Structure formats: structure tokens, C-alpha cells
Structure 1
Amino acid sequence: MAEQAQYVTLGVAEEIFAAPVAKVLEILDMRPIARLPRAPGNLLGMIDVRGQGVPVLDLRLTLGMEPAPDTENTRIVVLAINGADGKLTLGLRADRVFEVTVLDQATLDPPPPVSAGWGEQVIQGIGRRNGEFVTVLDLDRMLGSIPLPASRAA
């Protein structure tokens, strides 16, 4: 039997999103984020992860949702993605992280064809977990083109 893809399921507002587990480096409790002047609205700032400066994006704002305050469930999901200039490490602030899981079916439904270009920027596909819809995010396409602070080579 083929190995089913595993996903980390994230809660944002009342929605459930999923990120391929292969892209997730670690999941951190919320911590202070160093703000950056004149940064895009969804770029919260930088955190230190084992000596590396990691930019943190707010998943709510990246997806066009209303901002919300941090709670005891807020997490930063540290991801390794393929950006326009190669590999990127970045954090994604999510309201909640639920679990690492497989979806009910191995294949994802395509994004709904609502308008040209809309879904293909952020959605890899739609799956189900315990009968609920789970939107699987295309992290490389969604985050790989966001302008981030340049990390300086030593």
C-alpha cells in the first residue's frame, strides 16, 4: 500500500488548513516577535530560532482574513519552503495547531474554479478529515514570492 501524505492541520478563525508535514521544521509556542519598520502588513517581524533570524508571517493576514489577538493556543509553525531565490525558512502564525494526520482520501480535490488565478496561488487542493473540509495550502506558491528581509551572508 502506498504511503499516504501526512499533514499538519492548522486552525485559522473557524477554518481548517493543512500544511504538508515535510515542509514543517517545528512548531513553537508564541513568543515575542521583533517588529520590522515599513514591513508589509502580514509580516509580523523576526524571531530567533537556534541562532537563525526567521521572518514570521501572520497566516490570517496572508489569507486576507481579519487580524486577531494571540491566545494560549497561538503557534508559530516554522516552515522550509522553496522561494523564488531558493530555500527559505519562515514562520507562519496560526491560531491553533491541531495534529499531524492523513486526510480521509489520498487524493485532493482541485480548488473550486471560482475565478481564474484565485485558488492556484494559495490552494494545493481540498481534502477532508473526519468529514470536514480541509484546505491544503500550496506553501511554495503562497509564500515563496512574498518579499522578505534579506538574510545577510557571513
Structure 2
Amino acid sequence: MSEATQYLTLGLTDEVLALPVQQVREILEALPVARLPHAPKHLLGMLDLRGQSVPVIDLRLWLGMEATNDADSTRIIVVDTRTDAGGALFGLKADRVFEVTALDSPDLEAAPEIGGKWRREALAGIGRRNGTFVVVLDLVRLLDAERAAMLAAETSPAVVAA
């Protein structure tokens, strides 16, 4: 019998999302971060994690949702997306964390082609847990899209004022 993929389920507003548990390094209570000048809004700043600098991303803003104030349930999920092709260690600020669990089926459904508030490159697919839809995030693909956008912004010609 093969072991089912385990996911960390988390919440943003009323949405239930999931990350493959093998990418999760640890879960922290909300901590202060050092702001970075001129950083994108979703990059909250840097966190000192036992001597290692870890960028912290507001998952709400990264996915195109509205920002919110921290609550007692706010968590920073430290994830490791390092692969042979690269990757990074970073923190994701989420409204709450639920549990580590398997989904009802090991097969994910494709994300719908119709519009929506989600950044399509962020989705690995849609699963279900106890009859509730769970959006499974693809952090590696989302980081790759983020890097490509930053590179495009850096290499685009500067606008010269007349």
C-alpha cells in the first residue's frame, strides 16, 4: 500500500489551502520582520531564524487578496522549495494553520480555466478534504513566475522624462 501525500492545510479568510508537507520546515507564531526598502508589497521583510535570514511573504497579498491585521491565529510557515534546479527558504504569513493530513483522493483536479482571484501559476490543483475544496499551492512554480516578473522589470528599458 502506497503512502498518501501529506499536506499542511491553512486558511486565508474563508479559503482552505494546502502545501505539500515535505516543503514545510516549521510553523511559527507571527513575529516582527525587518522591512526592506523598495520591496514589493507582498514581501513583508526579513526574519532572523536562528541566525539565518528568511524573507517573509504575505500569502494574502501574494495571491492577490486584501491585506489584514495579524490575529492570535496568524502563523508564519517556513517553507523550503530548494530542488536541483534551485529554490529558496522563505516564510509565508497565513491567517491560520489547520492540520497535516492527506486529501480524500490522491489525484488533484485541474484548476478551473475560468477567471478568479487566484494567480493561476500558484495552483498545483484542487483537492478535497472531508468534502471541502482545498486549493493546493505550487510554490516552486509561483516562485519561478515571481522571478521571471522581477527579471522582466529589471531588464525593461527605463522611461526617460522629456
TM-score relative to the length of structure 1 = 0.88
- Aligned partner of 1:65: which letter? M
Deviation at 1:119, TM superposition (A): 5.9
Aligned to 1:71: 71
Q: Indicate if the aligned counterparts of 1:126 and 1:134 stay in contact, CA closer than 8 A.
A: yes
- Whichever structure has more strand as a proportion of its residues is 1
Once the two structures are TM-superposed, the CA of residue 21 in structure 1 deviates from its matched residue by 0.2
Percent pairwise identity: 53
Contact 1:82 1:144 in 2 (8 A): no
> Post-superposition, which runs of at least 4 consecutive aligned residues in structure 1 deviate over 2 A?
143-148
Query: Which position in structure 2 is the counterpart of 1:105?
Result: 105
SS of the residue corresponding to residue 146 of structure 1 reads helix
> Aligned letter for 1:113?
E
Q: Distance in 1 between matches of 2:112 and 2:94?
A: 24
User: After the TM superposition, which residues 59-138 of structure 1 pair with which residues of structure 2 at under 5 Å, given as runs?
Assistant: 59-82=59-82, 86-114=86-114, 120-138=120-138
Cα displacement string for residues 54-101 of structure 1 (whole angstroms, at most 9, x for unaligned residues): 000000000100000000000000011148x71310000000000000
Counterpart secondary structure, 1:142: helix
Corresponding residue number in structure 1 for 2:37: 37
Distance 1:49 1:137 in 2: 24
Q: Distance in 2 between matches of 1:141 and 1:24?
A: 16
| Length-normalised TM-score, structure 2 | 0.84
For residues 108 and 43 of structure 1, the distance between their equivalents in structure 2, rounded to whole angstroms, comes to 29
**Retained in 1: the 8 A contact 2:47–2:54?**
yes
Bigger radius of gyration among the two:
2
In structure 1, C-alpha distance between the alignment counterparts of 2:119 and 2:146, rounded to whole Å: 17
Gaps of at least 5 residues in structure 1 are: 149-154
The number of equivalent residue pairs is 146
Q: What is the identity, as a one-letter code, of the residue corresponding to 1:14? A: D
Residue 58 (structure 2) pairs with residue 58 (structure 1): yes
Counterpart of 1:59, as a letter, is L
